[in-house]
Structure 1
Amino acid sequence: MLCCFVTQPIDDHAVAFLREHGVAVRFASRATMECVAAEIGDAQAVITRDLGLDGAAIRSASALRIIASHGAGTNNIAIAEARARGIVVTRTPGANSRSVAELTIGLMLAAARRLCDADRAVRAGHWDFRYDSGGVELHGRTLGLVGFGAVARHVAWIAGHGFGMTVHAWSPSVPDCVFADHDVRRAPDLPSLAGASDILSLHRPSDPGQPPIFDAGLAQVLRPGTILVNTSRGSAIDSRTLLAALADGRVGAAGLDVLPQEPPSAHEPLLASDRVALSPHIGGATAEALRRTAMTCARQVLDVLSGRAPPDRL
């Protein structure tokens, strides 16, 4: 019988869809790679979220035909090993882009209006925080988008149409016509974008092992008090550089949905900063996005197991 092994919970509609089409679904008993490698057995398909699938797990799955990544990223999947075995690897770009964009705007607001500090102040009985909150409006500010893919395009629309912000973006791979279609100004390079922005939002993944996008050189060109937002990858920011920029005022506040280590160590210095608004990698964790993403994975699995070429294969 055809079987799909799922490393972490996914939306129930996707599970029901697979079963209705004759594909049995088994779940890992624990979301660890050791457990996955021990339990994957003769499954022909895997749906994996941020856990990914390493080489040992792939080698232990003798019948595997497809690895469907529940998200746009494939950093934790041993793609070379999969390709060597002829295993299809797919992903789901765009399925959660609107949800990630909305959280990006939320983190901008949290940083600009010190919402985390305000919440703590009210709970502690410090109502006078309202006289010294030091918040700023987003209206009329310049937003710089590092990368201009699906998430950044949603952010640009919300920021421009909803908040009256001027939106610039930098991406070496997106053609000029896309910028024009979205009424977004194209920055010639990353330093120019950073130097012109009141808010800098990262949407271009930096793979682990590659240099971070936000490094000491980029921090030096920022306007004083720049707000930094990251909903892409934790590796896109050098944490020590961010802490130094917060200390000297080049970064006035930051909103981060992702961190270099997830979950972070209890000793992660960013956790102690009251000018950093944090969320636990929940950009795509809305009911709507999770359903779209899981259903996309389920359809990709069914395509491969039925002998069809799935969309968004690597």
Structure 2
Amino acid sequence: MIISTRALGHLLSRRAAAAPTRVTPVLTARAFADYNVHVEHGRGEWKTYGDIDQYKPGMYQIKCFNKISPIGLAQFPSDQYDIRTDAQEGNNAHAILLRSHKLQEEDVPRTVRAIARCGAGTNNIPVARMTELGIPVFNTPGANANAVKELVLCGMLLGSRRVIDGINHMKDLGQQGLARERVEKDKAMFGGQELKGKTLAVIGLGHIGSQTARDARALGMTLKGYDPGLSVQSALRLPRALELMDSITAAVSDADYISLNIPYIKGEGGTHGVIGADVISHFKPNAVLLNFARGELVDSEAMKEFLDAGDGRYVTDFPDDLVWDHKNAVVLPHLGASTEEAEDAAAAMAADTIRDYLESGTISNSVNFPSTSLPDRPEHTVRFTVVNKNVPGVLAHITETFGDADLNIIQQVNHSRGEIAYNVLDIATMGHEEVLSFKNVQEKITMLEGVLSSRVMYGAPGTGYAKNLDGEYFV
């Protein structure tokens, strides 16, 4: 939202006439003047900005889809953030917070600067399209790691012993009044094996995989692992006893248990069906596959053939049309992160990530933008951020435009990721007139070829945003 004190007063007068009994806290004209920065462009109608009845000046608006943990939402200061729940309109949203909601492009107003999912996966968000629109998408890696890891360990026990079959059998005997009479005789039907001394192959050694490996080692298991994108940080979390392998097939060979902890990536070179017939052919006949990552990672037909052929087991946290009723399969209703603690942690991390981006331009835990940060904005500066296509020459044109406007860049950073680039620049305000106008320079930069959006950050929540919409200037 980019608006001057004069335009603000006009709009608030319109609102007061339409709803004279509504009392809404506003940022006063004096407060706006104190910022000594002018960004109003004086163009366009109110419909360009969103819904006048939903607009709260001087506040960031956060639109929530799904029920978000109150502990997470408490990270947003109430005097700066207007939180809109799933049942409320968010037509002027500056950011979106969601869990499992299947986000559509029409759910994203033009005012949105960022989207965060309270969880690790982002397959319910059109990430590629958001990248084209210059909107960073964030997730919360590691927030639910402990919850998922604990369920993986539970899955190992369920795959070792026919605990569920035994429970169901006791219910049947109880209904017949035969439980006490038959319990000792029938328990032999549900024998199994211990985890101690067995080999666990961990495919994917991120937050969940490394925690699973660590706790499995504490249970006395032998460890093998595979992760072609293993980071230094993840490597430092691994037990020293874990043997790193150079392929999935090498890792799963001779493993008694296989824990799958990799992301689902569509398309050529992705991970769809990565556990197929070729990999499964290297399984031991009685191996237990634990899939708490994504259902699409496993080829269901190949898995069914494996289960039919021997005493192997499949424990999955995702629906499966082929093996849901197989005697050697345990299918759970996606319970991996379904704990209060995980939901609280994920929501808090998502809220902090959104705050960092809106308030300082910092990017962390984004799935489509480069990680970027600058030190705190120095005194007597304005922070300017630019999102642009990652093509040659754009940065030079940006800095040249500041120079032409006699604006000095105190510090800056430029990072890129794939087709997108992100710039953070701190601009000196000293040596200028009492009120420094960014109106013209922001329009020139935003309308440069290759630029998608820009923000002027000077302390007024929700203001200073501009976009290049296919050659049309949106403010």
TM-score by length of 2: 0.59
- Which residue of 2 is the match for residue 91 of structure 1? 139
In structure 2, runs of 5+ residues without a counterpart are 1-55, 174-178, 368-475
Of the three residues 257, 275, 282, the one matched with 1:199 is 257
Which of 337, 340, 348 is residue 295 of structure 1 equivalent to? Answer: 348
Higher Rg of the two aligned structures: 2
Q: Distance in 2 between matches of 1:217 and 1:269?
A: 19
2:196 aligned residue (129, 139, 149): 139
Matched with 1:265 is none
Q: Is the 8 A contact 1:4 1:46 kept in 2?
A: yes
- Which structure exhibits the higher relative contact order, with contacts defined as CA atoms closer than 8 Å and separated by 6 or more residues? 1
Q: Are the equivalent residues in 1 in contact too, given 2:324–2:330 (CA < 8 A)?
A: no
**Does the 8 Å contact 2:214/2:238 carry over to 1?**
no
The alpha-carbon deviation at position 181 of structure 1 amounts to 5.0
Structure 1 residue 186, shift from structure 2 partner = 0.6
**Residue number in structure 1 paired with 2:284:** 223
Query: 1:50 deviation in Å?
Result: 2.4
1:25 aligns with 2:86: no
Q: Is the 1:206–1:213 contact (alpha carbons within 8 Å) kept by the matching residues of 2? A: no
Aligned ranges 1:117-136 → 2 under 5 Å: 117-125=165-173, 127=183, 128-136=185-193
Aligned-residue offset at 1:7: 1.1
Given residue 174 of structure 1, which amino acid in structure 2 is its aligned partner? L
The one-character-per-residue Cα deviations of 1:99-132 (angstroms, maximum 9, x if unpaired) are: 1111101011011111211111111116344121
Partner of 2:329: 276
Aligned residues: 295
Task: Report if aligned partners of 2:312, 2:328 keep a CA contact under 8 Å in 1.
Answer: yes
Unaligned segments of structure 1, at least 5 residues: 30-35, 261-267
The structure that is helix-richer by fraction is 1
Question: Is the CA contact 1:147–1:170 (under 8 Å) kept in the aligned structure 2?
Answer: yes
Please, which moves more after superposition, 286-295 or 167-176? Answer: 167-176
Q: After the TM superposition, which residues 146-157 of structure 1 pair with which residues of structure 2 at under 5 Å, given as runs?
A: 146-157=203-214
**Pair 1:46-2:84 in alignment:** no
**Would you say 1:234 and 2:295 are equivalent positions?**
yes
Match of 1:10 in 2: 68
Q: Percent identity?
A: 26
CA contact (8 A) 2:140 2:350 kept: yes
Displacement of 1:288 in angstroms is 1.4
Structure 1 202/21 Cα, relative in aligned 2: closer, same or farther at 3 Å?
Answer: farther
Asked if the contact 1:52–1:69 (Cα under 8 Å) also holds between the matched residues in 2, the reply is no
CA offsets 1:50-88 (integer angstroms, 9 cap, x no match): 224233323xx1211110011111122112221222222
CA 1:21–1:274: 2 relative to 1, 3 Å: farther
- Matched residue SS, 1:124: helix
- Taking the aligned partners of 1:134 and 1:104, their CA distance within structure 2 comes to 20
Q: Secondary structure at the match of 1:272?
A: coil
**Cα separation, 1, equivalents of 2:83 and 2:186:** 52
The SS at the match of 2:312 is: strand
